[in-house]
Amino acid sequence: MNLLDIDQFLKIFEGSPTDQYTLDDFISNYKVVVGEKQHNLKDYMKTKSISREQIQLILENIKQRNKYLKRFYNMSLRVNAKNEHVHGNMEPMTTIFDNNKGVIFKNFIRNLHFWDILQQTKSGFENIPTFLNVLFDLYKNNKIDYKILTPSALHYIKNGRMGSVFSSFYFRASILNPYLIYSLNEHLLKGTKIFTPTLGWSSYAKGFMESTKVIEYVGTDVIPQVCKKTEQLLNTQNIKSKIFCKPSEDLFKSKSFLKQYKNHFDVVFFSPPYYKLELYNSDNQSTSRYKDYDDWLKSYWETTIKLCLHVLEKNGKLCYILSGYGSQNTTQKYDLIEDMNTITKKYFEFDEIRPMQNKNVHSTKHRETGEQIILFHKT
């Protein structure tokens, strides 16, 4: 697989106008980004009572950016013998399923889909720019996001924790840990032939590939690069596989697909879109195809559930991971668990709900922390 090494990563941020700046140059040239508006840093400092000493610390962080960037790469992007494969490195979780246990196994996925996860996928809520866009603005474009100048962020920076500002306030697409998926299959699902109506940044394929039980994997997604890279990943394994690149609800209209995979799989697994929580770089994103939430539930979700029913064998397991969301960031609130489960129960027998441990930071407050692993079976 074509993964990003540390030299390639650092090269992305080579050369910054600040490398030659004095503090006065920085204050004179930088703009503060507040939503769609920009303000002169010099004026913003007066309005918010921000000192030159505080700005000096930010300038020093920019000039010494490689210290942070190397640390970020090693923690979040580095792939080596200890984290490339789950099987042989970690025993599967058995009772408590934690998406942040063995967090290093997310590195492979984050590296493989670097641009899509850290820049191309947008938050569905205002004023939460993507992680990479904030870094590009700060390091290369003479712009500083206003959150970096809030009292809490300045406190972090004063204590040498610039990285905490980036990780807490700015958006990165969520990743389901391949280690979690591997553990679920080893102890809960025990699937051999798997279908996933989304690809989850290739993490589903990666997790199921690690399980010696799995002999076949079929999945679909709407992001072309994710489809391509998942197919490449599966081609390195000795299992039967097929990747489609179209919306799951459209597969329900495909006579050839329905004929080939009728009553075929013993497990269907995925974490569906949380409606408008994340906006993906695709022309076929489900939230843009349908006019409102109710239409999305009927046309996307119910049709996808019908597809799952069709492809599962008798007593086959349907498992998905969900959370509701809504917060101070938005007046909208969606009870996805209640609404989506109500539809699923029309077609499947409900088995159980298990909690999934996960970590929330400021930029994902709109997602409830209590994500749920929800299981059904086909009668």
Per domain, the residue ranges of the chain are 6-78+129-169, 178-377
| Helical spans, DSSP H, in 77-127 | 107-112, 114-115
Q: Virtual CA dihedral for 94, 199, 278, 369, nearest 10 degrees?
A: -10
pLDDT at position 332 = 63
- Rounded CA-CA distance 339/14 in Å is 48
**Crossing angle of helices 162-169/65-76, nearest 10°?**
50
The dihedral through the CA atoms of 279, 169, 117, 252 has a sign that is negative
- Rounded CA-CA distance 127/281 in Å is 18
* Burial of 46: CB neighbours in 10 Å, binned 0-12, 13-18, 19+: exposed
The dihedral through the CA atoms of 242, 246, 247, 251 has a sign that is negative
The dihedral through the CA atoms of 288, 347, 256, 239 has a sign that is positive
pLDDT at position 157 = 97
pLDDT at position 194 = 98
pLDDT at position 127 = 79
The dihedral through the CA atoms of 93, 95, 101, 105 has a sign that is positive
- Helices (runs of H) and strands (runs of E) counted in the chain: 19, 13
- Rounded CA-CA distance 352/375 in Å is 5
In what side-by-side order are the strands of the sheet with 240-244?
A: 97-98, 349-357, 371-377, 312-322, 265-270, 193-196, 216-220, 240-244
pLDDT at position 132 = 97
Nearest to 250, CA basis, from 258, 262, 242, 241: 258
Nearest to 145, CA basis, from 44, 68, 240, 232: 44
Does the domain made of 178-377 have the CATH classification 1.10.3720.10?
A: no
- Tracing tokens 């409900």 back to the chain, one arrives at 350
- Whether the predicted model's global pTM rises above the 0.85 cut: yes
Q: Could you give the angle at the alpha carbon of 55 between the alpha carbons of 329 and 143, nearest 5°?
A: 55
**Cβ–Cβ under 8 Å, residues 361 and 167:** yes
Nearest to 141, CA basis, from 152, 132, 149, 150: 132
Residues of the chain with pLDDT under 50: 327-330, 362-368
